[in-house]
Amino acid sequence: MASPALTAALHRVDAVFGGMTAPADGCTYCYGEADLALLAVPGAPLGDGLLLRFFHKAPDHFEDHPAVVRRLLPDVFRLIADGRCGLLWTPNGLGRAEWRTWPDEQVAAIAGFLDVWWRETLADPAPAGGVGPVWELCVDMHRSLAPVHDVWAAVPRGGTEDRHLADWIAYRIEDLLNDDLWVLPLEMTEHLPELRSWLVEHAPARLTAHPDPLLARKVALLALGEEERWVAYSELIASAG
């Protein structure tokens, strides 16, 4: 069940985007004409399957992709609020729609919802879907690391947020050390240096309670170039016995 804060954010999204429509023009290879016609009907039920097929399709499949995303947002965010974010994947329509160029009221409703969802995910000891998928979706929807990581950096140390960060890093550290682009959403791989730099600056101090005593030192290696990094990594592992 959604919290009062998430419910309020969802109501704001409904107030701003509810009743919007989009042109019933799109790729008739991927969609039937009856499916596309639903986009032009305010509030017409789409069902999760069609909703997600619309939401994740590349923008060139629609005459007016931003209008399609606006039409879908109340249903998409309601799916998130119901804890069914596992049905979403990246890349997604919101991240591709350059929504920060939209009218201020629309930008504020979207940013407000994503902020509440991310903060509550971090504060929840066992969030639905896990922190990793929510992090990926938030980063992809924002098309930026900063709105997501600024929240993580600002919370007091020693809480649930630190455990989530440590668990995510422990799961991804080998990929990060290998410069694996798949750590990030598909269309955001150019942000990998920014991600490494943020982790080097903010993560080690939050990893002191993690059972792996080498984890913070592994994160520090992300500051090194690839060749130097692997020499240092080998020495680190050897010294640990």
Residue extents of the structural domains in the chain: 1-143, 155-241
Say what percent of the chain tops pLDDT 70.
99
User: SS3 string of the chain?
Assistant: CCCHHHHHHHHHHHHHHCCCCCCCCECCCCCCHHHHHHCCCCCCCCHHHHHHHHHHCCHHHECCHHHHHHHHHHHHHHHHHCCCHHHCCCCCHHHHCCHHHCCHHHHHHHHHHHHHHHHHHHHCCCCCCCHHHHHHHHHHHHCCCHHHHHHHHHCCCCCHHHHHHHHHHHHHHHHHHCCCHHHCCHHHHHHHHHHHHHHHHHCHHHCCCCCCCCHHHHHHHHHCCHHHHHHHHHHHHHHCC
At residue 35, does pLDDT exceed 80?
A: yes
pTM of the model: 0.95
Average pLDDT of span 186-190: 94
Q: Which pLDDT does position 198 carry in this prediction?
A: 98
* Residue 129, pLDDT score: 78
pLDDT of residue 241 exceeding 80, the answer is no
Q: How confident is the model at residue 239 (pLDDT cuts 50, 70, 90)?
A: confident
